[in-house]
Amino acid sequence: MNLLETSIDVRIPSLTAIDSAIIVSRLNTRQPVPADYTRSPLPFSADRKPVTDIVSLRNIAERLEAGLDPAVSESSHDAYAAARNGVITIGNFDGVHRGHATLLREVKTLADQLGGPAVAVILDPHPASILRPEAAPQRLSWIERRAEKMESLGIDCLVVCETTWEFLRMTADQFFDSLVVERLAARAMVEGPNFFFGRDRGGDVKRLEVLCHEQNLRLRIVDASQAEGQMISSTRIRGLLNDGRVEEAADLLEGPHRIRGIVVQGDQRGRNIGFPTANLDQIDVVVPAPGVYGGVAASGGQIFDAAIHIGPNPTFEPSGSSKVEIHLLDFEGDLYGEELTVDFMFKLRDIARFDSAEILIEQLRQDVGLVRDRLTNRLSRLDLPVRPDSSD
């Protein structure tokens, strides 16, 4: 089953700012991809094939000005129409954590009752990155990852609205009329009690109740989910990761925290002492605190147990820079230039300085042995494919 088959950038200048950038992604149906689309291949596990392309439609505004149908193909029209007349929820959904999952399941339940699609709407980038860039939270997950998790919860369509200054200047009523009523023709909404929308967060749940009542839309407010007496939130999960508490974060995320990056050449020190590593660059989500972790890495459809080092290398460089280095167990070769995803399963220890390279090597042997034992004993790889037989 495909997670994100197409993404359509719909630009309709005659309407409000909500149309300046809106991507409609069909999560549960396959549509043929027209040859004239612009493609951006994404590497994902080969057996799941959740996202093979992110497809952007071009020149919609020009087509409208010329009096032409903005839908270049039937598949693009179908993808956009698939998000209308359903049940929607609006938020950032960073990480798609346990609290999000509760709300999204309610969207699916209500959508099934009304006979329409279950639709999630994401504002991207996070509004804080425009309003207060210095205080903007680092992402827990990228859009395609969120789509992947949403699909498993029964969401049919993901709508991604580009957050711009024009978008943020819309009042709460304008936002509701443009997105909920005009563009998506929603029949119902599901939100949490802390939902705010519109300029200066001028709309809250009480205002939403009024607007939904005026438009004869059903509205359900889902209580915030809690764990150990605290609300489950993306902020809380970021705090856990910043403390290196990856197993607690995984509990709230309903799965391990995942990062991705491009493998670049390092100083080869790990290879020289018998523990070659893939050095990750261009990581675009939260990286856990410095330490040594056990996890699972995937690239090109293959999956490997991994010992993960985050931080400096104080044995060799007391004042060195922080790095993300992945030692892939039972792997020979290199992955330079390839994308590597890494799931954090547990933390082994903190970073330490050793008195000699020999003592460090012995500690690395112990680390790798612990990673191998603990991962072998785990009953689930969650959403990861089966690792290839290392004996091949």
Q: pLDDT tens digit string along 349-366? A: 999 888 888 888 898 999
**Rounded average pLDDT over 240-247:** 98
Does 313 share its domain with 172?
A: no
- Domains in the chain: how many in total? 2
**Rounded average pLDDT over 83-96:** 93
Does 221 share its domain with 301?
A: no
Cα of 163 vs its chain's centroid, Å: 17
Q: pLDDT tens digit string along 154-185? A: 888 888 887 888 888 889 999 999 889 988 89
49 has pLDDT over 60: no
Residue 384 domain flag = no
Does 201 share its domain with 339?
A: no
Contact 80, 74 (CB under 8 A): no
Q: What string of DSSP letters covers 190-217?
A: EE-TT--BSGGG-B-HHHHHHHHHHTT-
| Sequence-distant (≥ 6) Cβ neighbours of residue 125 within 8 angstroms | 136, 163
Q: What is the pLDDT of residue 318?
A: 67
Q: What is the pTM of this model?
A: 0.78
Does 286 share its domain with 144?
A: no
Does 222 share its domain with 269?
A: no
Contact 96, 147 (CB under 8 A): no
Q: pLDDT tens digit string along 212-233? A: 999 999 999 999 999 999 999 9
Query: Tokens 């804080």 — which residue?
Result: 128
Residue 179 domain flag = yes
More confident residue, 281 or 376: 281
